[in-house]
Structures are given as C-alpha cells and as structure tokens.
Structure 1
Amino acid sequence: MVSMKSVLLGLGLSAAVAGAAAADTVLRYSEAGPNRGARAKALEYFLDETTRMTDGQLQFDVHWGGALLKWSAALNGISAGAADMGTVIAPYAPKQLQGLAIGDLPIETSDPWVGLRAMFELMTTNAQLKDFLTRENVVFLSNFTSTGTQFECIGDHRIESVEDFEGLTVRATGIAGKALNELGANVVNMTFDKVYQALDSGLVDCAAGYYYTNRALRHYEIVNYISETNWGQVGGFALVMNKDVWEDLPPAHQTALRTAGSNMVDEFARIQLATIAEVKAGLQTGDIGRKVPVVPMAEAERAKLLALTDSYVQEWISDMTARGYDGQGIWDDYTALVAKYTSELEEDGYPWDR
C-alpha cells in the first residue's frame, strides 16, 4: 500500500484501501512529446505492460504534449513530486543529468537496438550512475533513443559534407550543437515543438531531426531535403520515477516496472526500425504525404563528424571525474556494452527475428 508521504510528494498518486487489500494505484505521468509516433506507441506499451503484470493494480494518468511539465521543467517537477514519473532529456538539465548524458556522446553505431540495450544495462547496473540519479531524487526505469541524427533542411540547402554547415542557421542541442558551432553554423537551441514553425518561417535553415519525428511532427510538409548523416544517436533520454514514490511501491510493483522497462527497449527498437524504413521509403516516393529527397552523407564525411566530437567525450569524462566519479571507468563500461550488443546483433540478429 502506498504511504501518505508519497501521496503528498506525488500530486497524481492516489491509492485507496478496501478492507485489508490496497486498491488500484494511479500514477501521474508527464510526457512533453505528442501522443503520436513511434515513441508514444512504445510508452503506451510500457504502461500497458506494467498494468498487465500488476493485475491492474498500477495504472497511469498520462499528460501528453507538456500539459503538465515542459521538457525544461520535467526533471525538477518529477523530483519534487509534481508528477510521479515521466520522460526526461539530458540537454534540458545538463548539470543535473550529466550522468545520463553519456548516452548523447557520439558512438560509431546509430542502430537503435544496440544503443537502447547498452544504455539500459549501463543505467541499471552501474552503481555510480545509479547514485547520480538518486541525488536528483529519481530512479531510472527505461530509456528511449532518437535513432541516428539526420538534418531536415528548407530551401536549396543540402548537407553532404561537413563544410556545408558553415553559415547555416541550424536547430541542434547538446553535443551536436557544440560541434556545429565549430563548423561555423549558427546554432539555435529550441524544443522540438517549435521546430516546425522555425523551419516554416525560415528562422532556421536546417534542423537536427530523426525519421520517426519527421512523420510524427509532419516536418515533411515543409522541408525540401533530408540529409542522412546517421550522426550517433541521442540516448540521454530516459523514463524516470520520483524516488520517494518508487520506494513506497511494493517490491512486486517495482519488479513489474523494471521488467516492463526492459521489454519496452526491444519493442521501441522494433517499432523504430520499422518506422525508419517506412518513413524513408515514403519520403522518397511521396507516399508519406509529400516527396522529399533523402541525401546520404558519404562515410568519409560522417567519419569527420564523429572525429569532431571526440573532444566532447574527453570533456564529459573530465567533468564527471571532477564531480567525484570515475568518468573514464563509466565510459569504458558504456563502450564495452555497445560492443557487446553490436556483436550480439551481428551474430544473432534482432530479438524479435530470432
């Protein structure tokens, strides 16, 4: 049974008692993204799985589209109890979520299943990163990934080489934004809900984006080119719960949340890979709603992007070390997990195809 402490800390947490047994618990979930697209499907899968595994004792009241907490307020709101749980993104709380931001550091692969699995295992087994989030009064449950970063451009802008970024106004965040500044781009940092208008009005020439968000947010209506860079993937993108609420849940419910979180990783990867194939094909044929050429970046140019961001890996390691953590050790754990799941994928294929 959930204590009064969590009822007060989590404004949306409600529990009633019928006789000796606890009734259904309703957890308030804050999601700043829209109720459509691949990630929304994965989140609903996670919530449904949790409800199923707890025989309906855990249920959820989801507030979509930032109706409860915007991206910039998500972590503090969940930590303080304005929501019991929700989705957070590292760049919107860079100091508080610096540990989680390891998932935003560029890695060679842009495969969503590899990225998701590596981050999930890292965040649930690495004692230092678990401690890092505990200090923010949240508990990691699962994670999302942006998939490989592409660039959506208006006008006649086609990004085929690193030199093509010079002089462009580009919406980007985090490590990508810092790297693009080095390449001479004028970087604008804004939340995804504002990107459509920014592109449509010409405020930005290009925006870092992803195939699944292109369709979900209808960016295909206004862009003229998709430059396919597959520049790493944003993995500092997590589903977290208020720590006090978590600790007041019975162990069986905690296990259900953890299990559902692990299951969601595979389900989200499966949805993402299917979505990428479908959207990419639809952009090239026009079946998605409008024909938009996809311009692949040559591997030699993509390698330049990855090399450009090596210094930011060292910066993250140094910053974490300065905060009392073993930055190099955490990074080594992460890269070992990326290698582990890359090898597993090469040998066995995706879990749903085995």
Structure 2
Amino acid sequence: MRNLLTKTTVAAISLAFATEAMATEWNVSLWGKRRAFTEHVEKIAELVSEKTGGEFTLNLSYGGLSKNRENLDGISIGAFEMAQFCAGYHRDKNPSITVLELPFLGVSSLEQEVELSMAVYQHPAAVADLGRWNATLLMPSPLPQYNIVGVGDAPSTLADFEGLSVRATGGIGAAMKTVGAVPTSMSATEVRQAMDSGVVKAVSFAPHAHMSFGTIENGTWWTTNLNPGTVNCPVVVNTDALNDLSDAHRDALLGSVDEALAHYIDNYNNKTMAAWGPALDERGIARVTFSDAEIAAFKEAAAAPAAAAWLESNTAAGLPAQELYDLVTGMIANGS
C-alpha cells in the first residue's frame, strides 16, 4: 500500500509540474484605459486563451508596467513580453515605421492602414530596425485621420493657427508647423492636464482619443477636415519570448492577429464613430470646416517638404528610405 501511495503521489506531483510547465503567461504593457485603441489587444488575449484552453494567457496592464514612452525600452530588456507604443514618441528608435506617419499620404480607411502597416512591418529594414530592441512587430493599431479639438476662439482660416500651441506628434506636428502652429509632442495621458493648464490650446487626436482622454470636456471647437495624417502605433512582442513559445502557443498568437484586427476595425467603425457626433453635439462643440482651396494649400505646403526631409534624414542614417516611401505611396496609388 505504501508503495502504491508513493507511486500515486509521484504521479500526481509529476502531472502538476507538467501542467505548470505547459502554462505560459505574458505581461502586456498598455496605457490609459480600455478603449477602441486597445480592442485588438483585448481580443487577441481572449482568442489566445480560448485556442490554448487557458494554457497561454496575456495579462493586460494599463499603465502598471511602464510609461507609454518607455514601452519599447521595456520590451528590449524583457521587462514584459508584449507592448503597444506610438512611433512618434521616439522617432529615432524606430525610424523605419515613421514613413507611415508622413502627412497627407492619402490613406482612406482603417483597412488600408492595416495593409500598409503590415507591408512596412514585414520589410527587412523594419524587421532589422525593431530587432535592435529585441522586438518583433505583431500588428498595427489602425487609426483614422487626425483632427483637432481646441479651446478659445475657433479658427476660421488656416492663418488663424499662427502661434497656436497644438499637441501634435510626428508628421502631423510637422504639418501643423507649416501653417504657423507651435506643435508640442506629449503622450496622450499628459494631454488633459496640459489643456487645463493652458500649456496647449489644441490637441490633435483620432476621435476615440478625444473621448478617452477628455479633450472634448473643455474643448469648444473641432476641425472636421484638416485630415493631415495619422500616427502609427504598433503592438510588438519581445523576440526571445516569441521564439521561446511552443509551436502551438506561437501559432495561437500569430494565427489570431487577423481576427483581432477585424474586431478592432468593426468596433472603431461601428461603435466609436457612431458615438463621436453625438458626443460633440452634447457638449456644444462647434465644427470647423475649411475650404477645399485652403486644404489644398495646406497639403501643398506640408506634404512634399515633409517627405523630402524624411527621405534625406533617413537615407543619411542608412535606411532604404526611398524604398520604404515608394512601398507605401505605391500601394496607396494602386488602391491597396
């Protein structure tokens, strides 16, 4: 009997250790709160758990693991296994993907934004660029064209932006500078306080972020059609952690990307955008629409110089900048 019990005990302990060994937990660094911008990460966590019977779980943390501007650094040292960040937060750390933030590229939909992003993410130059941080690009966070919520007198022409302090990152900031605005780069979580204190008078965001980070709570006007561009905010994974996954767990993760992105796009198009108009109306926020002639002049002033500057600086830094630029603009021209 003692021998039988011993064998049974050993078998139970062995099974427990085996079960523990099969379980994988990843920590995921996000910021703010759950919103349209993070729905694909929420969905992929759900899908991975379902596909692996709970053996592979993604623990999502909204600000508890790192500051958003430090997420790529955290990935590089393995502080967590997955993270979201925006390219414009640190252009020098991820120059290859900032091609997607150039102003007035002419991207027409979230679906197109996904296609462009994934094409750039899979380019050898982008793979090597992020590889410096031990990071593998997993999926984008597609965002619509940015527009501006501001306080005070609403601009009636683009000339009224002269001297206006605007939170705008990346290519959007460069575009706003061409009309005399004073762009300031700050993370989304800092924006509401900056508006309240008068550090900035206006904020460039996609609709979900205007709602999530409270700019519409004290904003008085919103531009309907500036559409200077958008930002590129990928989800990345630590390359070593990805390589260490079992084949089944890796397949569950990578095989869930398309479904997670489809969920994200459906949620953004059908829920976020449906709530945007009523949110403006409830707060009495004035809509500012510029003439076609002014928008054309804005594009002419901003687009070509920004592209030329990007090409020059990144070619000098050793990137195949023209190749990346031609990839993106070629796909847009072909309707991809």
The question of a shared fold, defined as TM-score above 0.5 by the shorter chain, is answered with yes
In the TM superposition, 1:1-354 aligns within 5 A as: 18-19=17-18, 22-32=21-31, 34-64=32-62, 66-106=63-103, 107-124=105-122, 126-158=123-155, 160-286=156-282, 290-307=283-300, 308-340=302-334, 342=335
Distance change (3 Å), C-alpha of 1:242 and 1:165: same
Q: CA deviation at 1:276?
A: 4.7
C-alpha displacement at 1:45, in angstroms? 1.0
Q: Could you tell me whether the CA contact under 8 Å between 1:110 and 1:231 is conserved in 2?
A: no
After TM superposition, give the deviation of residue 17 of structure 1 in Å.
Answer: 7.2
Task: Write the distance in 1 (CA, Å) between the matches of 2:246 and 2:253.
Answer: 11
Task: Give the direction of change, closer, same or farther, for the CA distance of 1:229–1:250 in structure 2 (3 Å limit).
Answer: same
Cα distance change on mapping 1:20 and 1:263 into 2, 3 Å: closer
Structure 2 CA distance for aligned equivalents of residues 57 and 137 of structure 1: 25
Larger mean Cα displacement after TM superposition, 323-332 or 79-88: 323-332
Cα distance, 1:225 vs structure 2: 0.7
45-54 or 234-243: bigger deviation: 45-54
Q: Deviations over 1:108-159 (max 9, x none)?
A: 12422211222123313x222112211221001011133211100111223x
Residues 161-200 of structure 1 deviation map (CA, whole Å, 9 limit, x = unaligned): 3322102111111122223233222222221112112222
Contact 2:88 2:98 (8 Å CA) reproduced: yes
Unaligned runs of 5+ in 1: 1-15, 344-354
Q: How many residue pairs are counted as aligned between the two chains?
A: 320
**1:13-61: per-residue Cα shift (whole Å, max 9, x none)?**
xxx97338842211011002x2232123232112112222333221011
Matching residue's letter, 2:298: L
Q: TM-score, normalised by structure 2?
A: 0.87
* 169 and 20 in structure 1: CA distance in 2 versus 1, 3 angstrom threshold: closer
Q: CA deviation at 1:212?
A: 0.9
> Are the aligned partners of 2:113 and 2:143 in contact in 1 as well (CA < 8 Å)?
no
Alpha-carbon offset, residue 77 of structure 1: 1.0
Checking the alignment, whether the CA contact within 8 Å between 1:122 and 1:337 is kept in structure 2 is: no
CA RMSD of aligned residues (A): 2.3
Larger radius of gyration: 2
Structure-2 separation of matches of 1:139 and 1:198:
33
Compared CA separation, residues 235 and 171, structure 1 to 2 (3 A):
closer
Q: Distance in 2 between matches of 1:150 and 1:274?
A: 19
Query: How far apart, CA to CA, are the structure 1 residues paired with 2:326 and 2:248?
Result: 33
Residue of structure 2 in register with 1:349 after alignment: none
Question: Does the CA-based 8 Å contact 2:28-2:60 persist in structure 1?
Answer: yes
CA separation in 2, counterparts of 1:29 and 1:234? 24
CA separation in 2, counterparts of 1:339 and 1:251? Answer: 38
Percent identity of the aligned residues? 23
CA distance in 2, matches of 1:235, 1:255: 29
In structure 2, stretches of 5+ residues that fail to align are 1-14
CA contact (8 A) 1:27 1:85 kept: yes
Runs of at least 4 residues off by over 6 Å: none
1:90 Cα shift? Answer: 1.1
Query: Structure 1 residues 18, 302: closer, same or farther in 2, change over 3 A?
Result: farther
